[in-house]
């Protein structure tokens, strides 16, 4: 497995629109071959920044996702909302440990 961590700086006031477009993109990724999971993060010290953590079985799966129509449409929307070029970091996953999922509303 591989994880890509992307750091993004947003234009002031663009945060809600950017978040909505990114949520659409992540929802479409769930249907893609090789998708493992992802997170959209807001740094505690930067309301105008985002960190995207995406995990895929292979980098080729991630690259193929870029041909998805939803990805391409959201890319056009997101480009106009970002203040700077994003920065990517690739990591090989050596272990992925998570608590079993609990349905929303269920007692943990």
Average pLDDT, whole number, for the chain?
90
Does a structural domain hold residue 103? Answer: no
> Is residue 65 situated within a structural domain?
yes
Residue 100 lies in a domain: no
80-103 tens-digit pLDDT? 999 988 899 999 999 988 888 777
Cα–Cα dist 4/15, whole Å: 21
pTM value?
0.84
Q: Tens of pLDDT along 20-46?
A: 999 988 998 998 999 999 999 999 999
Counting the structural domains of the chain, the total is 1
Is residue 29 in a domain? yes
- pLDDT over 90 for what percent of the chain? 65
Predicted local distance difference test score (pLDDT) of residue 106: 64
CA angle 7, 55, 44 (to 5 degrees): 35
Asked, for residue 41, whether it belongs to a domain, the answer is yes
> Quick one: average pLDDT of 104-108?
61
Q: Is residue 102 part of a domain?
A: no
Q: Which among 49, 36, 42 has a CA at the least distance from the CA of 91?
A: 36
Is residue 59 a part of any domain in this protein?
yes
Judged by DSSP in three states, 14 sits in coil
Q: If DSSP codes are grouped into helix, strand and coil, which group holds residue 99?
A: coil
CA-based Rg of the chain, rounded to a whole angstrom? 15
- Has residue 108 got a pLDDT over 60? no
Give the range of the structural domain holding residue 10, as residue numbers without chain letter.
2-92
CATH no. for residue 62?
3.30.70.100
């Amino acid at each position: 497995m591989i994880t890509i961590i992307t750091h993004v700086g947003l234009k002031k006031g663009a945060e809600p629109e950017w978040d909505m477009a990114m949520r659409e993109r992540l929802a479409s990724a769930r249907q893609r071959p090789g998708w493992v999971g992802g997170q959209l993060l807001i740094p505690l010290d930067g309301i105008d920044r985002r960190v995207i953590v995406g995990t895929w079985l292979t980098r080729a799966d991630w690259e193929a996702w870029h041909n998805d129509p939803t990805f391409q449409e959201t890319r056009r929307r997101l480009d106009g909302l970002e203040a700077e070029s994003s920065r990517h970091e690739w990591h090989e996953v050596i272990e992925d440990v998570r608590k079993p999922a609990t349905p929303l509303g269920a007692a943990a």
